[in-house]
Structure 1
Amino acid sequence: MFTTRYAIRPLKFIWIALIAAIARLDKSFSPSHTFRRVRKHEFTLSDYVYIVFHVALSIFWLYLMENPSYPKKLLIPFLHILGVMVPFTSQFFVPATPVFAWLTTFYTSRFIPESWRPSVFVVLLPTLENVLYGGNISDSLRQYTHPILDVLAWLPYGVIHLMLPFVMALVLWLFRPKQALHQWARLFGWMNLLGVFVQIILPCAPPWYEMSYGVMPAS
């Protein structure tokens, strides 16, 4: 009985938090409510910069996107605009705008013409390893192989880092004010978007590339 009581208590706590989180949701599906909020909002310079940046970025990637092709790809901005207009979905879509920008950039960057792409830096990351850590860590790690080590490397890279953002978002939605979740979504989106920009502007071969192929140009 004692064990059962303590096992049920966390579930009850989560259930209460879930009910409260659902109660905080805007359940309206009327776009007129969104238009009313927009008219009441006092736009600042940062708001205009934010909007112009995302609109320009979306147009740029939509222009480069080859799959889906035109006119099917026009469905993407249509659905996004619809999601922003409906209050029930806008409470998720608006804060997640940087996340959508990151996903769009990550996916569409594959369609960047070869003539636009900078050369891949082969020796930059190995050099940074030597400067920062005093040696070639990748070479040292490659000398020790074992299935258990593979699993330990796969868990954080292949599972945890993909699931953790969703777990964190769920925890914030349940146990924190909605502003905390909105801030998390924005920061998470901007961080990943910046990472993709760095990969596009400064493409680098992984450190093991130099050990396998030397300084041969990578593509």
Structure 2
Amino acid sequence: MQQTTTIVETETQLPLGWRERLSPSKLKTIPGRYNLPRMFNNSNKNNSAKQMRESGSVPTRSISALQTSFKITDTIELLRTRKWSVFDVQYVGLAGFTIFSLWIIDPPAPIIKTLAALGYLLLLFMPITRQFFLPSWPIWTYLLYFFSSRFIPYDIRPDILVKVLPALEDILYGVSFSNVFSSWTHPVLDVFAWFPYGLGHFGLPAICSAIMFIFAAPGTVPMFAKSFGWMSVLGVSIQLFFPCTPPWYERLHGLEPAKYGMQGSPAGLARIDALFGVDMYTTSFTTAPVPFGAFPSLHAADAILEALFISYVFPKLKGLCLFYVCWICWATMYLNHHYAVDLLGGGIIAYSIFAVVRKFWLPRQQPGKMYRWQYEYVEIGATKKNKALDEELGYGPIGAAKRSSDLSDEFTVLDSFMHSASSSGSSSPTSSIRSDKSDRRRD
């Protein structure tokens, strides 16, 4: 009994200075070896940062934020320190298309054209406007290229193909779907076809951009704008080098040779103007810059590209996207504007561009992230070691070339560390410290 009492008394004795060690001033200090900045300033930081760079991760302090500066000098400094790559050739191409389109427009008006070009150049150099007008530059180039193509001299244009598309339609499908769908019309069907063809085609790109800007990963909208613009430029170029007559020409003129200078036709959209008593499409389609641009169908290409991006951001909406694509494809044939082979060509172009952009430049969606501002980091493309910069801020984050490792790597690794800790259930760094300490004791 005496021995037991002695043992108890020995265990309850506390070492000298225990009050000082348990004081709040001592407890609130984390030992140096567990200090997070020191942990990530060592080799662990360098290794983790290297892994995130190889996986395509980009810190989002400068990606999710929007520029508010009007200083042109910021852009000049950014261009001076920028590491140029082969992908920057796209800007040379855009400049070439823009200059060509301005050059062929009649009347010449050199002063007005020069002022317009300088005005857009100013928008590209101010950071607050660059973040919008640089990614959307391909779209503005497409619009200028499309409307100025009417001024291309007829004598240098290729011959208009009248029999190619009907022949391909018979070879591929054995029947002309456009003639089948447009053989029976009704005012209800006219309105049903008018919604996607006459309204959705013009307004949906802006709506999709606004939705993806809020709910998609930072950098998704610039990639959508570039894809949309370059796809449209490619489509118009094919229409100019491979001009083909649409179904309404076959219905009005048969297989007679077509000539440049002939007027276009609103086809089934004329019934919409008659139904509402407003000239919305008759004049615009009659005087269209490219009346013989049936192949490829940009109506189908635009809808398919929008559906691919929306279904990428919102996988649960794939069914709705597929319905819209089928809806507008039917409308193009019902309104007698496109053959089925035109839709196939537009779909191939849209999917090819989306596949390339998704592999190399499109930011990945992260589970559990609903808004763009919730992203702690962004993984770009499906391949590793991708050096493409997000274009939403213009040419890239200001000072990116001079950013030190303490500013970029540490914040990137620290954000990802805290994100992984919160998702794994640890509510504070203390729990991870305890587990690390217990593991060391077991070792």
TM-score interval (norm. to shorter): 0.7 to 0.9
CA distance in 1, matches of 2:85, 2:100: 24
Aligned to 1:5: none
- Supply the AA of the counterpart residue of 1:106: F
Q: Residue 24 of structure 1 aligns with which residue?
A: 65
TM, length-normalised to structure 1:
0.83
- Is residue 123–residue 210 contact of structure 1 (8 Å, CA) maintained in 2? no
Matched, 1:75 2:115: yes
The offset of 1:76, in angstroms, is: 2.0
Q: Which one of 72, 85, 97 corresponds to residue 137 of structure 2? A: 97
Q: C-alpha root-mean-square deviation of aligned residues, in Å?
A: 1.6
Q: Give the Cα separation in 2 of the matches to 1:31 and 1:102.
A: 26
2:251 is paired with a residue whose SS is helix
- Alpha-carbon separation, structure 1, partners of 2:71 and 2:218: 21
For 2:101, the aligned partner's letter is W
Aligned residue among 68, 75, 82 for 1:34: 75
CA–CA separation in structure 1 for the residues paired with 2:108 and 2:173: 44
| CA distance in 1: counterparts of 2:224 and 2:86, whole angstroms | 22
Deviation of 1:185 after TM superposition, in Å, equals 0.6
SS in 1 for 2:185: coil
1:187 is aligned, of 227, 239, 247, to 227
Corresponding residue of 1:128? 168
- 2:138 maps to amino acid: P
1:84 matches 2:118: no
Unmatched runs of 5 consecutive residues or more in structure 2: 1-63, 260-443
Counterpart of 1:20 in structure 2 is none
Structure 1 residues 180-189 or 123-132, which shifts more? 123-132
Structure 2 partner of 1:174: 214
Residues 61-113 of structure 1: CA distance to partner in whole angstroms, max 9, x if unpaired?
A: 22101157332122221111011010000001111121122111111111111
Q: Which runs of 5+ in 1 are unaligned?
A: 1-22
Q: Which gives a bigger RCO, structure 1 or 2 (Cα 8 Å, sep 6+)?
A: 1
2:159: which partner in 1? 119
Cα distance in 2, alignment partners of residues 211 and 160 from structure 1: 26
In 2: Cα distance, 1:86 partner to 1:77 partner: 15
Structure 2 residue 164 is the aligned partner of structure 1 residue 141:
no
Other structure's SS at 2:110 match: coil
- Amino acid in structure 2 at the alignment position of 1:152: F
- Residue 91 (structure 2) aligns with: 51
Residue 230 of structure 2 aligns to which amino acid in structure 1? Answer: W
Q: Tell me, in whole angstroms, the C-alpha distance in 2 between the residues paired with 1:171 and 1:208.
A: 36
Counterpart of 1:165 in structure 2 is 205
| Aligned partner of residue 244 in structure 2, secondary structure | coil
Partners of 2:190 and 2:163 in 1: CA distance:
25
Larger helix percent = 1
Cα deviation code 1:107-134 (max 9, x no counterpart): 1111111112212111122122222222
Query: Offset of 1:52 from its aligned partner?
Result: 2.2
The 1-side partners of 2:187 and 2:103 are apart by: 45
* Percent identity of paired positions between Structure 1 and Structure 2: 38
Deviates more, 1:165-174 or 1:209-218: 209-218
Pick the structure with greater CA Rg: 2
Matched with 1:196 is 236
How far residue 176 of structure 1 moved from its aligned partner, in angstroms, is 2.4
**Number of equivalenced pairs:** 196
